[in-house]
Homo-oligomer: A and B are copies of this chain.
């Protein structure tokens, strides 16, 4: 018996790991298999092609590494860069901070461009840095597409435009952990060199696969990159790709079958429809926050995130108590505020395999918790705002028309 059992479903609204759909749970409910039999490589081959679709790349090379997002970060950096390389990296919240910490520990020379938490990456500074860097000392631009701690989505198309404007050859490395497969992401069109995500985010799987896509330019860079790497070395994968056996070490059989089904569900729904659904969920959440009279941690509309909303609470309330109480009384799992904004925000993750009524249940729960902790919200107000939007914008489920 689980020792924290509560009746009914847990309402999982942290921004990862997210809800796993039943067909994926079913697909993973299986014994191990010999990964050297013909079956697993055959499945892997197709998966490697199919994951590229969620990155919107046809020219990239994909890697499915048995690791987390942190490991995928490390893979992106160590395969393309050498110790001492200068990189520009944007600090806008806890996850970009952690990535920068990793970059520094991996001995890159990191030009940190910091913004206030709640703002997006300062691309003007990027522009000026690139303008100055006629010697091309900057080897890479590292940016999170969506900062999970603050609910801020950066404008990657704009990053590309700036790079192009200055004809700067720096690699363009993107953390897409809480964006890919949920937000509009276009690896090839935006000239992203390495993009990555984790299985437990919008793909709605358990943790365990770090998915990394490398552009031809990134692959080329990997040939001369001097960062020490073994487990995360793309070359070991490429060697086994050539052999047709695909795996330098044992993959999780269950996650491969799970990924197969997760992709099938996404393709059946249609990637654009998946993105549109996230857009609906994000917009509805923001309307609810507004109706509650609370502020979004994200300071400007241009950065609004459709996968996570960080909600600022009044100074007299500790947001940690909101998260604690949601779990203890309503079986609702919300995200904590992290680091600088600990106690000041709580987060609603609205990504992955999720629908409108699930979110409305969550919003109704948040309203009750807000009252529990002394914020005089009008019960039903956020739900009303969100459902008005849904009622006007939710399409029929295509398979049921």
A binding-site residues for B, Cβ under 8 Å: 1-12, 14, 16-23, 25-39, 42, 66-71, 74, 83, 101-102, 105-107, 198, 200, 206-208, 227-233, 248-255, 264-265, 268-269, 274, 277, 327-333, 335-336, 353-358, 360-362, 364-365, 367-368, 371-372, 378-381, 383-385, 387-388, 390-391, 394-397, 399-401
Contacts and interface: CB of A to CB of B under 8 A. Distances in A.
Given A14-B34, A207-B250, A380-B380, A67 B66 contact: yes
Of the listed residues A1, A330, A372, A381, the one surrounded by the most CB atoms of chain B closer than 10 A to its CB is A330
Nearest to A35: B17
A83 B253 CA distance: 35
Nearest to A40: B4
Contact of A105 (B6, B20, B27, B230): B230
B8 A355 contact: yes
A43 to B, nearest CB: 8
A38 B4 contact: yes
Contacts of A394: 329-330, 368
A27 B30 CA distance: 11
Contacts of A328: 396-397, 400-401
A394 B39 CA distance: 21
A68 to B, nearest CB: 5
Contacts of A387: 364, 367-368, 379-380
B249 A70 contact: yes
A198 B230 contact: no
Contact of A355 (B7, B20, B206, B208): B7
24 contacts: A2-B23, A4-B397, A7-B353, A7-B354, A9-B9, A9-B19, A11-B357, A12-B32, A22-B29, A22-B31, A66-B67, A66-B68, A70-B230, A74-B230, A83-B228, A101-B230, A200-B250, A200-B252, A208-B208, A208-B255, A329-B397, A357-B365, A360-B361, A384-B384
A126 B379 CA distance: 46
A264 B105 contact: no
